[in-house]
Structure 1
Amino acid sequence: MWRRRPGADDGRVTEIITGLSMSPLEIVVLLGAVALVVARWLPPAARPRVTIAAGAVEVLSAILLAMAGVRWQMLPVLAGAAFALPFAVLPLRRRRTGRPAWRARWWLALPGSLACAGLIATGPAAAWAFPVPVFPEPSGDFAVGTRVVQWTDPLRPETFTADPDDRRTVVVQLWYPAQRSPSGTRRAQYLGRTEQEARTVSDALARGVGLPGFLVDGVPRARSRSVFDAPVDGGGGRFPVVLFSPGSGGVRTQNTAWAEELASHGYVVAALDHPYDSAAVVLADGRTITTETASSGDPDEDEKLAAGWTAIRAADLGFVLTQLDGLDRGAIADPLNGRLDTGRVAVAGHSMGGAAALQAARQDRRFDAVIDLDGFPHGPTSPSLVQPVLALTQAITPATDARYLPRLTEALGSSTATSYRLTVPGAAHLTFMDGPLYLPPVPSIVGTLGRVESPRVVAAATRAFLDAVLRGAPGDQAGDLAAVLPAYGELSVHRPG
């Protein structure tokens, strides 16, 4: 079954087979390779026509694929075709020269054909395991625009460097409700403003988990559903704001599908790169800052380190909220002037970013709600939270850090507002970011929800919480959420007192 991927960005038609991401050209190469192998076993009358047609198509499509850029997943397909081609063509050449046609005996041809078929099958299997991610179409009424800003805090020194004049700089990507772009408008590059930045970030992320960069070479090829610098929606309304901090070593774009879904429903999402913590941060002047945070191997020392890094992230979040408030008031010239409702703000994060969101909310009452996506709380547990919190977690198992649930329960239970813990069945730690869209569907890595359901569940649950807390009637949210959230997992409600 074939279907068109909506929102093609540059006029090229991209097709996907259900469950398998391959371009039309890659599919032609695959079919040509299969035909070359199969030709040996066809009736004598059909062999020449099939071999000539398949060989011509394979050579031409392979040349075009090389010009467009070959993904590593296609190399075994090309190898299988290259191995089969001379054995398919050689009998035809001998026939044309008048000499007796030569064909390998079946007992030689069979293992050769099986070997070629095995090589060719490796290609689509690898493309399925490591695809070019296809981002879900946002379900809201708004189109989505995105852009990147960079801000320096003149009041905070950069503690990761020895330069006393170095000040803390953060890179922020905004997703916002936008006007509809003309058909064929190029969509935003995933992981960066340019493909080169995307490759820099992708390679750094791969190194961070010990993988060679080529394994995820499809990721920097991807494009999301938003449009860079699209005009802001012209309706004149003001949009609630959600700040986001990524996981340890994570990057601002790691939850793009989630951010685009929220923006399509009328939120502005501001996601941060934390320099020296994020895997790679490309600054406006072209410099790339890579991570300098690393485990010491000692649990007690690591907890102290994590608490310190979390505090820096929390300060980054507070600084960015101040910048956004100034932007809304016109202190910074921007198309979003007067469009940000900084009186309705949530702070969110994944993993260590979730811990940073909790700390930012403790320190800054301007945050009205908190979303912790499977984040272990680090740092001080006081003062108590006064904001409602939604904590999404994977299933708690014997392998889970024994400190995680007690620490999280303490944070939620001590809040003076009603808070929620939602355990999502079938989720793993990376379910709560874009990982399921491009990583192998291994349950221990990305869970069992799948590439379609993973982003849908996370976005739907968090949007229900945000709609109730930031847009709902006071006093009604607890009952509404207690009724709505169980559709996405196992809900625990923590009420004040």
Structure 2
Amino acid sequence: MWRRMPGAEYGRVNEIIPGLNMSLPEVLAVLSAVVLVVARWIPPAARPRVTIAAGALLLLSATVVSAAGIRWQVVPVLAGAALALPFAVSPLLRRRTARPAWRARWWLALPGSAVCIGLISCGPVAAWAFPVPVFPEPSGDFAVGTRVVQWTDPRRPETFTADPDDLRTVVVQLWYPARKSPAGTQRAQYLGRTEQEARTVSDALAHGVGLPGFLIDGVPRARTHAVVDAPVEGTGGRFPVVLFSPGSGGVRTQNTAWAEELASHGYVVAALDHPYDSSAVVLADGRTITTEISSSGDRDKDEELAAGWTAVRTADLGFVLTRLEGLDRGETADPLNGRLDTGRAAVTGHSMGGAAALQAARNDRRFDAVVDLDGYPHGPTSPSLTQPALALTQAVTPGTDSRYLPRLTEALGSATATSYRLTVPGAAHLTFMDGPLYLPPVPAIVGSLGRTESPRIVAAATLAFLDTVLKEKPGDLAGVLPAYGDLTVHRPVQRP
């Protein structure tokens, strides 16, 4: 079971309080604003002291929140307090000047108070719907380190541009078992190497789904549990590698909670940005490449396009595995030299990345296992898979996509190794990424498993499969995997 840390780090004072999804200064701003409104209705003798105390606390908390960077969720709280403030303070000022105190009639004050309370309440509701993500603490024996590398394939021209000298470049984030860092060590920024990169990526992700960027402005404030460039775990062992391809328009960091959990259990995870496909890829020279893929609106045409994009991703995954092999051999000086067991490699992905993972496993026998996180199998389903495969899906119905289940069954059922399809009850498509940590908990969007349970189940099922297949730990997957959902087992096809 994963443990939850006290909150996402974006300033010690602004540490998020679990369950409330707000920092302490934000909570105090809400409480003082409510008291300021309610002061109108308490006995006259206590009213001045309560008003002064609430006003002072509101001013202090608003100052701290503003200095740290105000979140849009706090704006309605401050707006409600601003509306109430003149009516709360006016009687006090009149009393000091010996002028008769003026108070609005109750039948006027009641609707005004209700409006103010309504505005103030919008703050906690908005913070609940669009929180700063709080990442589950990895449950494995290892601390987690991370870093970002950029590799260019000298043999592949960039097919998304017309420049013949433009070579295919991918950005890869590595998560790996690391030595424990001292208490208080700064944790890695979510979504990017810097907060500016994180904001660029966050805005691009929001734009890609038609949302204004400010709605998820808490996401770039989040910190994960990994430490940038932390020393590699020191026992000298070698770690299996897991490559990951994100969904269409997705980014390398979209499954950070999942990647950190795997790394804490002794895996090296390499997650890819696919330029011109991922929403935004910030290169080492500062250039930002945004997505150029989009739906045509025609189902058959879109399938043809998706097959082509999947093929590019498949080539990216094979190239990255080659670079990891070279890194392990010491072709370039690196802390992971001699620590990567590329002879035990899995290829994984979410959505279109899952399709790319299936295709990469078919085309490249260096991959020993494949995990598809709710990905429709685009492209050819031949040759047959020879590696064990695990497909985690939401409940697939004709209403979801009438072609999805037959297509996935064809891909898994023709395999020459045992494959598994695990239907996770209560899951939606975005359950299989970090989305439940920061998107509104609407079942149609992120499923009904909850912010803690969603990443836990996906990572636990993945680990159970990889531990058995790559680490050869004893255990019967057909008996273990049903703990996480409804299991269908596809036995190897017997060839004549």
- Residue 492 (structure 1) aligned with residue 488 (structure 2): yes
More displaced stretch, 397-406 vs 187-196: 397-406
C-alpha distance in structure 2 between counterparts of 1:16 and 1:341, whole Å = 38
Task: Determine if contact 1:4/1:13 at 8 Å carries over to the other structure.
Answer: no
Residue of structure 2 equivalent to 1:483: 479
Return the offset for 1:64: 2.0
Task: Determine if contact 2:4/2:137 at 8 Å carries over to the other structure.
Answer: no
Question: SS of 1:416's equivalent?
Answer: coil
Residue of structure 2 equivalent to 1:471: 471
More displaced stretch, 9-18 vs 220-229: 9-18
TM-score, length of structure 1 as denominator length: 0.97
- Residue 73 (structure 1) aligned with residue 69 (structure 2): no
Task: Determine if contact 2:14/2:68 at 8 Å carries over to the other structure.
Answer: no
Residue of structure 2 equivalent to 1:350: 350
Change (3 A) 1:117 1:7: closer
C-alpha distance in structure 2 between counterparts of 1:10 and 1:158, whole Å = 37
Task: Determine if contact 1:141/1:265 at 8 Å carries over to the other structure.
Answer: yes
Residue of structure 2 equivalent to 1:41: 41
Residue of structure 1 equivalent to 2:25: 25
Return the offset for 1:398: 3.2
Task: Determine if contact 2:6/2:15 at 8 Å carries over to the other structure.
Answer: no
**One-letter amino acid of the structure 2 residue matched with residue 322 of structure 1:** T
1:30-73 CA-to-partner distances (Å, cap 9, x unmatched) read: 11101101111111111000100111111222122111111100
Residue of structure 2 equivalent to 1:372: 372
1:333-390 CA-to-partner distances (Å, cap 9, x unmatched) read: 1100000000100000000000000010011000000000000001111111100000
Instruction: Give the 5 Å matches for 1:145-156.
Output: 145-156=145-156
TM-score, length of structure 2 as denominator length: 0.97
1:308-348 CA-to-partner distances (Å, cap 9, x unmatched) read: 00000000000000000000000021100000000100000
- Residue 121 (structure 1) aligned with residue 121 (structure 2): yes
Change (3 A) 1:8 1:439: closer
Change (3 A) 1:91 1:13: closer
**One-letter amino acid of the structure 2 residue matched with residue 106 of structure 1:** W
Question: SS of 1:400's equivalent?
Answer: helix
Change (3 A) 1:250 1:153: same
Instruction: Give the 5 Å matches for 1:147-226.
Output: 147-226=147-226
Task: Determine if contact 1:9/1:185 at 8 Å carries over to the other structure.
Answer: no
1:91-124 CA-to-partner distances (Å, cap 9, x unmatched) read: 0000011111111111111111110000000000
Which ranges in structure 1 are unaligned for 5 or more consecutive residues? none
Task: Determine if contact 1:5/1:15 at 8 Å carries over to the other structure.
Answer: no
Change (3 A) 1:11 1:182: farther
Task: Determine if contact 1:144/1:176 at 8 Å carries over to the other structure.
Answer: yes
**One-letter amino acid of the structure 1 residue matched with residue 142 of structure 2:** F
What is the root-mean-square deviation of aligned Cα atoms in Å? 1.4
C-alpha distance in structure 2 between counterparts of 1:329 and 1:4, whole Å = 37
Task: Determine if contact 2:7/2:17 at 8 Å carries over to the other structure.
Answer: no
Residue of structure 2 equivalent to 1:425: 425
- Residue 232 (structure 1) aligned with residue 232 (structure 2): yes
Return the offset for 1:11: 7.0
Task: Determine if contact 1:345/1:368 at 8 Å carries over to the other structure.
Answer: yes
Residue of structure 1 equivalent to 2:288: 288
Q: Percent identity?
A: 82
**One-letter amino acid of the structure 1 residue matched with residue 49 of structure 2:** R
C-alpha distance in structure 2 between counterparts of 1:446 and 1:240, whole Å = 30
Question: SS of 2:201's equivalent?
Answer: helix
C-alpha distance in structure 2 between counterparts of 1:450 and 1:81, whole Å = 32
Change (3 A) 1:72 1:253: same
Question: SS of 2:489's equivalent?
Answer: strand
Return the offset for 1:13: 4.9
Residue of structure 2 equivalent to 1:143: 143
C-alpha distance in structure 2 between counterparts of 1:8 and 1:209, whole Å = 25
Change (3 A) 1:410 1:130: same
Number of residue pairs the alignment of both structures matches: 491
C-alpha distance in structure 1 between counterparts of 2:10 and 2:278, whole Å = 31
Task: Determine if contact 2:173/2:272 at 8 Å carries over to the other structure.
Answer: yes
Residue of structure 2 equivalent to 1:303: 303
C-alpha distance in structure 1 between counterparts of 2:226 and 2:467, whole Å = 22
Residue of structure 1 equivalent to 2:416: 416
C-alpha distance in structure 2 between counterparts of 1:109 and 1:11, whole Å = 39
Question: SS of 2:358's equivalent?
Answer: helix
Task: Determine if contact 1:8/1:186 at 8 Å carries over to the other structure.
Answer: no
Instruction: Give the 5 Å matches for 1:311-350.
Output: 311-350=311-350
Change (3 A) 1:126 1:468: same
Return the offset for 1:5: 3.7
C-alpha distance in structure 1 between counterparts of 2:119 and 2:186, whole Å = 35
Residue of structure 1 equivalent to 2:247: 247
Task: Determine if contact 1:10/1:185 at 8 Å carries over to the other structure.
Answer: no
1:272-301 CA-to-partner distances (Å, cap 9, x unmatched) read: 000000000000000000000111111111
Residue of structure 2 equivalent to 1:383: 383
Which ranges in structure 2 are unaligned for 5 or more consecutive residues? none
C-alpha distance in structure 2 between counterparts of 1:13 and 1:433, whole Å = 29
Change (3 A) 1:162 1:11: closer
Change (3 A) 1:96 1:127: same
1:430-471 CA-to-partner distances (Å, cap 9, x unmatched) read: 000000000001111000000000000000000000000001
**One-letter amino acid of the structure 1 residue matched with residue 435 of structure 2:** G
C-alpha distance in structure 2 between counterparts of 1:8 and 1:248, whole Å = 27
Change (3 A) 1:350 1:10: closer
Runs of 4+ in 1 over 2 A off after TM superposition: 3-11, 13-20
Question: SS of 1:151's equivalent?
Answer: strand
Residue of structure 2 equivalent to 1:56: 56
Question: SS of 2:121's equivalent?
Answer: helix
More displaced stretch, 52-61 vs 146-155: 52-61
Question: SS of 2:337's equivalent?
Answer: coil
Return the offset for 1:397: 2.3
**One-letter amino acid of the structure 2 residue matched with residue 230 of structure 1:** A
Question: SS of 2:379's equivalent?
Answer: coil
Task: Determine if contact 1:171/1:272 at 8 Å carries over to the other structure.
Answer: yes
Residue of structure 1 equivalent to 2:461: 461
Residue of structure 1 equivalent to 2:444: 444
1:134-187 CA-to-partner distances (Å, cap 9, x unmatched) read: 000000010000000000000000000000011000000000001111111111
Task: Determine if contact 1:20/1:124 at 8 Å carries over to the other structure.
Answer: yes
Question: SS of 1:486's equivalent?
Answer: helix
**One-letter amino acid of the structure 2 residue matched with residue 266 of structure 1:** G
Change (3 A) 1:161 1:4: closer
